[in-house]
Every structure is written in C-alpha cells, then in structure tokens.
Structure 1
Amino acid sequence: MSPKVDAFIVKLDKWQAELSLLRSVILDMGLEEDLKWGSPCYSLEKSNLVILQGFKEYFAILFFKGVLLKDSAKVFSKPGENTQSSRQIRFTHLDDIISQEALIKAYVKEAIEVEKSGAKVTLKKIEEYAVPEEFQRALEEDEALKTAFARLTPGRQRMYLTHFAEAKQEATRIARIEKNKNRILIGKGLGDCICGLSQKMPTCDGSHKHAR
C-alpha cells in the first residue's frame, strides 16, 4: 500500500469509502500501487493496468488496455467519444463493489494476462486524426506553433487533437486551443506536469495542479 495513496484517500471529500473498498479489491490482485495523474494507479512490472477515478456522478476503475479485454459481462464504458484503448467500469454505490467484487477481480485478472501476453493496442496513426478547423487555422497563422506541434511525440499530438475535437462548441474549441498554446510551444503534452516533469514519471507525485 502506497503512503501517497493513503494520503490521497484521506483527503477525499467524495467517494472516500467507495474508493477505499475498490482499492482493497485491487490490492488483492498483487499489483504495484502508486499515485499517478493524481489518482491511485496499479501496475504490473511498471506497466500501468488500471487506475481508480472519482467523478461528480460516479466513480470508476479504468483499464488502460480495456479494448483488448473480452468484456464478457458488457459492463465497459468509453471514457470519451474518441477513446481508443481504455475502458471504464463505473459505479455509483458502495454496494456496487460488494456485489461485483468477483467480476472486478476477473476483469483485473484478464488485464494481467493480456499484459503478460505482450498484446498491444493498435492506435490510429496521427495522420488519420481530423484536425479541428480552429486549430488548423491557428497552426497556419503561427509558424512557431506549427513547428512546436510537429515536434511533439505522436502520443502528445493525439491527446491535443482529441481534446480540441471533443469540444462541441466552436468557442470552447478556440478557448482550449488558446489555453494550451504555451504548453505546445514549450514541448509539453496535455498530461505533462507544470513542474517540468512528466506525470508519468515516478518523481512527480501529482500533489500539485497540472494545468490543461
């Protein structure tokens, strides 16, 4: 049990009992626990398998390679419209965990087996992603931004394009683009820490805000 996760659970205003119970279920599977992206995350030999999430209307366990699981019970939800790899099992009550503990463990066990098999998720190539009109215009008007975006890793480019495209309103898309221009210019991804370290790195414990 990670002390960082202990501290995280204690500070929760919502879903404290629920995430504590879900945490204990996951820990029974023998995975490594750490706090990543500001949430309890569980890995196998340094490969992230699942992460616990709390939202306003529900809490969830997210499987990073959920798309590769069979989902025999048909309980998976997509975190976002354009999500390719990860899948969630969502809950709204403590009793949900109690009644579905065996199912949760079965899914985690399958996730472990998938990871051990070396299976990879085939993601769309960055060229296959539509570039929102507003962002395309921003790139054409700002050569430095265009150059900086081209230098980002495909994963970082993918996250930005998805983040911008998910906004339904033009004004929201423009606002997201403006908010993230500086991050792109300095080579930061959407999920990178403002302290200069990637949130994926163990030296960043997620204890401070990561602006998006």
Structure 2
Amino acid sequence: MKKVYSVEEYIENNSHFGEELTILRDLINNTELEETVKWSAPVYSLNGKNVIGLGAFKNHFGIWFFNGVFLKDEQNLLVNAQEKTKALRQMRFESINEIDKNIVLAYVEEAIENQKLGKELKPERKGKTVVIPKELQKAIDNNKNFQKAFNALTPGKQREYCDYIETAKQEKTKLSRLEKITPMILNGIGLHDKYKNC
C-alpha cells in the first residue's frame, strides 16, 4: 500500500468513494476533533487520543471508532471488523445513499463524549503467569532472604529462572541449576543480565 501524507491524497487514492469520504470528512471536521494521517489513513483525535478513523476498501467505506465498544449503537450500525479487536468498531457503508448525516454525527459526538469521560479499553498486558518449579518453590519456602530476593525480581526475570530449572530433564540437573542461580537471585541479578549489558 502506498504511503499517504494527507487526507486529500487518501481520498484521491480511493476515488471510487471520493464523494462519500468527503461527506464524512466534512461532517467530522465540523466537530472539535483534530484531523491527522496515521497508518496512511485519516485519523481524528482529541487531546492526542485517537477517536475516529476513515477507511475505504474495494466494496465499502466507513468510520472506525477506536473505542466503539462503548457506543450505545442504538441503530445497530456497528460491526466488529476482526475477532481479535476488543474496542474497535466500524460503521460500514456501501453507497452514498446509506449515509444519514444526523445519525453519523450522533455517533461521532457520542465517541467524543466518551473520550472526554476517559472511556477506553487499555491493551491487556500479555504477561504470562509465573509457574514456579517445585525445586525452586522449596528453596523459596525454606529461606526468607531467598524468598524476598526472588519476589523482588521482575516477572520476566522470575520466569527466566523458572524456565531454566523446568527445562532440565533430570532432577539432579534441576538441583545443580538451582545451586548455580541461588547467589544470582540473592544479588538481584537476572539469569541473562550479563548478556543484556554487552
């Protein structure tokens, strides 16, 4: 896809829906949203937060609501474009005749109001839970200083140590690995810290 530097250029590149996009653009530009171009498409923001985007495809065009999940959608016009998107909703049109300016404006104004109220889905941290191997758990339970030192590590460092012990096939290897990492944990050092500083 060709990089777009202005909304005019985007509309020109999608001339099969040029008139329709211009109608929606004019409608949005009559609100307090600020027009920008992000990801080579028109995006409208409020205080630096993305609220709405315009999009045109082969057979349809529409408005993206970045936090559309919070819209009441009384007209039942919004679709979840992809399974994995939690907050994003799209209002799709196939022709100019489907645009009802009053309804579109009502949705846009509600989206602006929601943004002002701070309604937004925060992206979920994909932090995996740390599963502590029994050998390490035993060491943690038997030594308060060790327990304190382990708990002070970041979840990522804790996970590295857990994986290091868990991936050993034999019990004696697990115990020798535990012996090796105990002073590192007590000193607050991550398993791979020496490589990260190179």
TM-score normalized by the length of structure 2: 0.58
Across the aligned residues of Structure 1 and Structure 2, the Cα RMSD in angstroms comes to: 1.9
Matches within 5 A, 1:39-50: 39-50=41-52
CA drift of 1:119 comes to: 1.9
Query: Tell me, which stretches of 5 or more residues in structure 2 are unaligned?
Result: 129-155, 157-198
Check conservation: 1:66, 1:85, Cα contact below 8 A: yes
Check conservation: 2:44, 2:51, Cα contact below 8 A: yes
Q: Which structure is larger by alpha-carbon Rg, 1 or 2? A: 2
Which residue identity lines up with residue 111 of structure 1 in the other structure? A
Check conservation: 1:26, 1:105, Cα contact below 8 A: yes
**CA offsets 1:49-103 (integer angstroms, 9 cap, x no match):** 0000111121110000000111111111011012101000000111112xx1111
1:89 alignment partner, one of 88, 91, 94: 91
* Alpha-carbon distance between aligned partners in 2 of 1:11 and 1:109, rounded to the nearest angstrom: 28
* Alpha-carbon distance between aligned partners in 2 of 1:124 and 1:70, rounded to the nearest angstrom: 23
* Alpha-carbon distance between aligned partners in 1 of 2:63 and 2:105, rounded to the nearest angstrom: 11
Q: % of aligned pairs identical?
A: 36
Which residue identity lines up with residue 103 of structure 2 in the other structure? L
**CA offsets 1:145-177 (integer angstroms, 9 cap, x no match):** xxxxx9xxxxxxxxxxxxxxxxxxxxxxxxxxx
What residue is the counterpart of 1:111 in the other structure?
Answer: 111
What residue is the counterpart of 2:34 in the other structure?
Answer: 32
How many residue pairs match? The answer is 125
What residue is the counterpart of 2:60 in the other structure?
Answer: 58
Query: Tell me, which stretches of 5 or more residues in structure 1 are unaligned?
Result: 129-149, 151-212
Matches within 5 A, 1:143-182: none
Which residue identity lines up with residue 121 of structure 2 in the other structure? V
Check conservation: 1:76, 1:87, Cα contact below 8 A: yes
Cα 1:60/1:114, change in 2 over 3 Å: same
What residue is the counterpart of 1:177 in the other structure?
Answer: none
